[in-house]
Amino acid sequence: MRKAFIGIRNRLFQFIAHFAPGALSLRVWLHRWRGVKIGRNVWIGYDVILDNSYPEHITLGDNVVLSMRAMLIAHFQEQRGIIIEPEAFIGPGTIILPGVTIGRGAVITAGSVVSSSVPPMTVMQGNPAKPIATCGMVLVGDTTLKQFYRSLRPIKSSAPKAGSGT
């Protein structure tokens, strides 16, 4: 009976957080009450889904940004848990799968699917997400987009280019 009550409570708080105002306040508190481990100054956008069944397997470090419609799936068979380290930026529509750690200051671009851990200060993009650049500074906080873009260093792809004959 207790497990059923906890499941209903988790889904109710998730539903309220889904639409509630307060990206730095009410939504954060609702997810904390569900069991998500959340650091200070975390921003949770609209329509964010944090695993309904096992929210306690999600850890969000200080100054993390979860953009609208991000989805964190913290369990699948024997894989459990998601850790997002401090100052990471998760773009809109991103899906993060279980067993993943997002490194400090990493940036996940919009619509990416993250199925493996991400090194600190790395920009990841695509499905599955691949590293495309390293960051010279974090995107969250007082950093302007102009400063952030100037700090990026592209990662050279080892894949042959189309039409190169290699």
Other Cβ atoms closer than 10 A to 73? 20
pLDDT score of 162: 60
pLDDT score of 156: 81
pLDDT score of 22: 87
- Cβ within 8 Å of residue 1, ≥6 positions away: none
Could you give all domains of the chain from N- to C-terminal order, each with its CATH number? 2-154 (2.160.10.10)
Closest CA to 38 of 61, 56, 15: 61
Indicate the helix (H) or strand (E) that contains 13: helix 2-19
pLDDT score of 21: 86
What whole-number distance in Å separates Cα of residue 111 and Cα of residue 137?
A: 22
Q: Which residues of 17-55 are buried (b: 16+ CB within 10 A; e: fewer)?
A: beebeebeeebbebbeebbbebbebbbbbeebebbbebb
Question: What is the full per-residue pLDDT of the chain (166 aa) written as tens digits?
Answer: 777 888 888 888 888 888 888 888 999 999 999 999 999 999 999 999 999 888 999 999 999 999 999 999 998 877 789 999 999 999 999 999 999 999 999 999 999 999 999 999 999 999 999 999 999 999 888 888 899 999 999 998 655 566 555 5
DSSP for 16-67, please give it. HHHH-S-TTTHHHHHHHHHT-EE-SS-EE-TT-EE-SS-GGGEEE-TT-EE-
Indicate the helix (H) or strand (E) that contains 158: none
pLDDT score of 52: 84
pLDDT score of 160: 59
DSSP for 103-125, please give it. PTT-EE-TT-EE-S-B-TTEEEE
2-19 and 26-34 helices cross at what angle (nearest 10)?
160
